[in-house]
Amino acid sequence: MTSHIVGYPRMGPKRELKFALESFWEGKSSAEDLKQVAADLRASIWKQMAEVGIKFIPSNTFSYYDHVLDTTAMLGAVPPRYGWNGGEIGFDVYFSMARGNDSVPAMEMTKWFDTNYHYIVPELGPDVKFSYASHKAVEEYKEAKALGIDTVPVLIGPLSYILLSKPAKGVDKSFSLLSLTKKIVPIYKEVVAELKAAGATWIQIDEPSLVMDLEALQLQTFTNAYSELESSFSGLNVLIETYFADVPVQTYKALTSLKSVAGFGFDLVRGTRTLNLLKSGFPPDKYLFAGVVDGRNVWADDLAASLCILQVLESIVGKEKVVVSTSCSLLHTAVDLVNETKLGKEIKSWLAFAAQKVVEVNALAKALVGQKDQAFFASNATSHASRKSSPRVRNESVQKAVAALKDSDHRRATSVSTRLAAQQKKLNLPILPTTTIGSFPQTGELRKVRREYKAKKINEFEYVNAMKEEISKVVKLQEELGIDVLVHGEPERNDMVEYFGEQLAGFAFTVNGWVQSYGSRCVKPPIIYGDVSRPRAMTVFWSSTAQSMTRRPMKGMLTGPVTILNWSFVRNDQERHETCYQIALAIKDEVEDLERAGISVIQIDEAALREGLPLRKSEQPFYLEWAVQSFRITNCDVKDTTQIHTHMCYSNFNDIINAIINMGADVITIENSRSDEKLLSVFQEGVKYEAGIGPGVYDIHSPRIPSTEEVADRINKMLAVLDSKVLWVNPDCGLKTRKYSEVEPALRNMVAAAKLIRIKLASGK
């Protein structure tokens, strides 16, 4: 009986690591305190898996920020600006790379493949002096071994690390990052040698980039790297793990041809076509790590169906060579269903979080060798039957409304230039209008009010008054700073998706279903279990209240359908685009109610549109078609004078810029500052964009406060490729995670910079 877990959530069942990190960053606790919390969490995770009966337990999947940054530390690839002079990399350098410090900004952050998890992008070039600078993988293996648990250390593979990197600033465009693979392979050899000396018998090397459409040179680089590592693997079992999609045919052939590797892991949930490749041939004497339990969703596995797949695989590769596994790391799902005390019994029976998925993996492994737990399988079958027949899942009127959408492309009737002229006549905004993205700092007092209201310790009247006071404070601050288009600050919202999901039919919510997004940032994705509709208005009261406090335009703030979809745990019993259309119709109702209430600027955030883009190019056009269509549905019937904004953050947008234009928004605000303004290269290459656009002028995920001169310099770079008539000035993202002591001076400098450039433009300089 063999079972394997690709990786496990790090934050802890009640976000213990989050609070330890924030305490350390704020100087309230020591490095030793933080390390102790981390060690306790790791020990708990390893013991839990060992007690269940998992054979291949991962180590080195724990991280203080993200595992790509851990690999950067392991390789000593620290950008010179952080002042590292060699030796073991400590917290000062590590967290400076992740978050910036008083003197230098953080490294770029972007999404991990098509997930809502983020990673810090390595900055590489010909001058990087790689060295073995973090022994974390070996230390954690020894830590587990001291507890009597033999683990499988996990490393990000050399090809994926390079492909996840970017050229450092100033590196010649002709330089190939792939050429650096041969420079980092010697470091991998050192790590492998140390792990072997410490007693490791298995090592897992994650190469998720193998599911991408690789060029011939990239695939050859992969083969060459592992040929070079072959001697290091002697006397060791090496697993190469892939996940998130099918492995292409040529890549499958190159991967399974590696002689020094003992096993190969495949995602058989999102990579169902890989099953056909396995049927066409699998190398003898190799282990197949079959990822049949979904690591990215919260639905209980269909154990009977998974067992059938495993039995087919067993007939292909041999009885002793199939290892039951998760489809990917369980990092992307919630920790433990046991902690959910408020979910209804019926819905709870349909779910499995990380802890339950570990049990499912082990149950399948036992069943495969004739030790089937009949009661467990019967209970699972009953849950699946309950979900299929439950009346709460299907709403006929919603199904009919979605079916009726097929007769239109849902574009607004007039051109964007016509609409912008009508909007300017109504709004009378200055050139380079300033705004923010939506949220303002969520103070401890504000969170306390929301907690007390949910716990019924204060009544609705007290809650509404507290929210009104906060909104008034935010409005007055923005007016005092001189911001042109205001926001109400979203004090009533803990999370942009959770807030809307709580008010939409077809959603369920957890108490402790937290998932790490980056660093200490956790989100609690709602669970879409049924057809989606909007029973009542969701934001009109708050937006109208805020607008009554000022003569300046007040943005109505909504989350778009694609983002709600991509940031939720989505039902797996119908196509994702059908669910997205349902959400779009619900948001459309809200948009039209806001317009009727006198809100002239409505922002429909699609922060996660790029995130959901399929990894394989052949699947991308269909996704972009329905994703863009969903956004257009939300605002297709508003007046020309109603200005529709959208916002996107922390992804690579350059390859989907035409789809973004096709969304038809009047104004888009978009992340730019942390990625070295690479978004601007699209416009340098001649892409014409007629709508308003606000590439972020400073990074809100760092506590660093930009100077007026720094912001002005960014605006000038934007004006080199964008017309001043369409350019907006705004931060990269919402301000919820920052403190007022950081936000006020940063926004003051931003507004001052915009005014400075306006004066220069007016004088013709």
Q: Which residues are catalytic?
A: 701
Give which of 417, 368, 668, 427 is closest to 553, Cα–Cα.
427
The answer to whether 646 and 603 have CB atoms below 8 angstroms apart is yes
The answer to whether 116 is a known ligand-binding residue is yes
Name the strand (E) or helix (H) holding 238: strand 237-241
438 is known to lie in a ligand binding site: yes
605 labelled ligand-binding: yes
HSE toward the beta carbon, residue 641, CA cutoff 13 A: 10
Computed from CA positions of residues 649, 655, 657, 663, in that sequence, does the dihedral angle turn out positive or negative?
Answer: negative
399 burial type by CB count under 10 A (0-12 exposed, 13-18 middle, 19+ buried)? middle
Q: What is the DSSP letter of 106?
A: P
Establish whether 709 is an annotated binding residue: no
Determine contact, residues 332/354, Cβ cutoff 8 Å: no
Pick from 442, 557, 558, 559: which is nearest to 488 by CA?
Answer: 557
Answer yes or no: are the C-beta atoms of 743 and 480 closer than 8 Å: no
Tokens matching residue 407: 């007769």
CB 555 within 8 A of CB 52: no
636 among annotated binding-site residues: no
**Annotated binding residue 567:** yes
Tokens of 519: 């660093």
Distance CA 466, CA 460 (A): 10
Rounded to 10 degrees, the C-alpha dihedral 469/475/479/480 comes to 40
* Rounded distance between C-alpha atoms, residue 274 and residue 290, angstroms: 10
Only one residue has tokens 């792939």, namely 178
Q: What size, in residues, is the chain?
A: 765
* Residue 125 three-state SS: coil
Please state the φ and ψ torsions of residue 616, each to the nearest 5 degrees: -95, 130
CA distances from 520 to 15, 76, 402 (A): 9, 23, 38
For residue 452, how many other CB atoms are within 10 A of its CB?
15
Distance of CA 237 to the CA centre of its chain: 32
Strand order in the sheet with 555-559: 555-559, 601-605, 643-648, 667-670, 692-695
Per DSSP, which regions of 598-664 are E strands? 601-605, 643-648
- CA separation for the pair 375, 363 (Å, rounded): 11
Question: Cα separations (Å) of 299 from 242, 515, 613?
Answer: 22, 15, 22
Q: Starting at the edge strand that comes first in sequence, how are the strands of the sheet with 151-156 ordered?
A: 3-4, 322-326, 287-293, 263-267, 237-241, 202-206, 151-156, 57-59
Query: What's the rounded Cα separation, in Å, for the pair 670 and 697?
Result: 10
548 is in an annotated binding site: no
528: tokens are: 């879409």
**Ligand-binding site membership of 51 (annotated):** no
β-pair type (3-4, 57-59)? unpaired
Does 257 carry a binding-site annotation? Answer: no
Residue partners of 478: CB distance under 8 A and separation at least 6: 436, 486, 487, 552, 747
370 is an annotated ligand-binding site residue: no
Integer CA distances (angstroms), 339 to 13, 198, 524, 718, in order: 8, 36, 13, 48
Residue 328 counted as an annotated binding residue: no
Under the phi-then-psi rule, with left for phi > 0, alpha for psi from -120 to 50, and beta for the rest, what region is 543?
A: alpha
Secondary element (H or E) of residue 527: strand 527-533
How many whole angstroms separate alpha carbon 711 and alpha carbon 703? Answer: 15
| 308 appears as a binding residue in the annotation | no
First to last CA, the chain: 75
Supply 692's token pair.
């308003």
Residue 508 carries which DSSP code? Answer: E
Task: Indicate the annotated binding residues for 5-methyltetrahydropteroyltri-L-glutamate.
Answer: 18, 116, 521-522, 567
Binding site members for Zn(2+): 647, 649, 671, 733
- Binding site feature residues for L-methionine: 437-439, 490, 605
Which residues are annotated binding-site positions? 18, 116, 437-439, 490, 521-522, 567, 605, 647, 649, 671, 733
